[in-house]
């Protein structure tokens, strides 16, 4: 009998997370004046998480978000795009290309999203970097700029770490 009340909570919890449609509606409702302050921390975290998985529907939300995010959210969005390259390089690159064609207050495309979001390289970071690198090599010529930016940043970090250790 104690299980019965829990069964009623499951459907509520399953539908509690935000969808791209919900977020897009919030973007339209609040616009650049107040979206950044109106979105809940939970919905924003869910949005960043879903974008970083490379899901097409969530990735296509990025251009809508680009015009309404604040600086902190912009940095998080760029990091999510970087991680999206791992699972869905071609679609993530398409989104970055859309961002490259516009001038948003905080959000940029390829120039920022292809920079790995770390200053020191851990084993986990290198594993992710290597997977993304291979994804970009498979994505075709449109990935060249992103690959160059990403590799340059990692080489810079390696050089800094070598200077510090010598």
Whether the CB-CB separation of 125 and 87 falls below 8 Å is answered with no
Distance of CA 32 to the CA centre of its chain: 19
pLDDT in tens, 82-113: 999 999 999 999 999 999 999 888 888 999 99
User: What is the mean predicted confidence (pLDDT) over 6-27?
Assistant: 66
Q: Is residue 13 part of a domain?
A: no
Instruction: Quote the number of domains for the chain.
Output: 1
Residue 157 scores a pLDDT above 60: yes
| pTM as predicted | 0.85
Q: Is residue 43 part of a domain?
A: yes
Residue 81 scores a pLDDT above 80: yes
Q: Is residue 102 part of a domain?
A: yes
Higher pLDDT among residues 1 and 159, named by residue: 159
Q: Is residue 4 part of a domain?
A: no
Residue 142 DSSP one-character state:
G
């Amino acid at each position: 009998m104690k299980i019965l009340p829990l069964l009623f909570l499951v459907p509520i919890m399953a539908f509690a997370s935000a969808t791209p449609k919900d977020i897009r509606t919030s973007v339209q409702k609040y616009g650049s004046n107040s979206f950044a302050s109106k979105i809940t921390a939970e919905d924003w975290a869910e949005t960043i998480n879903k974008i970083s998985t490379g899901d097409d529907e969530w990735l296509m939300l990025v251009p809508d978000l680009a015009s309404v995010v604040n600086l902190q959210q912009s940095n998080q969005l760029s990091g999510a795009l970087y991680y999206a390259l791992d699972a869905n390089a071609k679609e993530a690159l398409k989104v970055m290309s859309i961002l490259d064609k516009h001038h948003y207050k905080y959000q940029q495309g390829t120039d920022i999203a292809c920079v790995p979001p770390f200053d020191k390289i851990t084993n986990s970071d290198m594993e992710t970097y290597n997977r993304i690198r291979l994804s970009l090599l498979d994505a075709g010529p449109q990935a060249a700029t992103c690959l160059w930016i990403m590799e340059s940043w990692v080489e810079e970090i390696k050089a800094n770490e070598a200077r510090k250790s010598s």
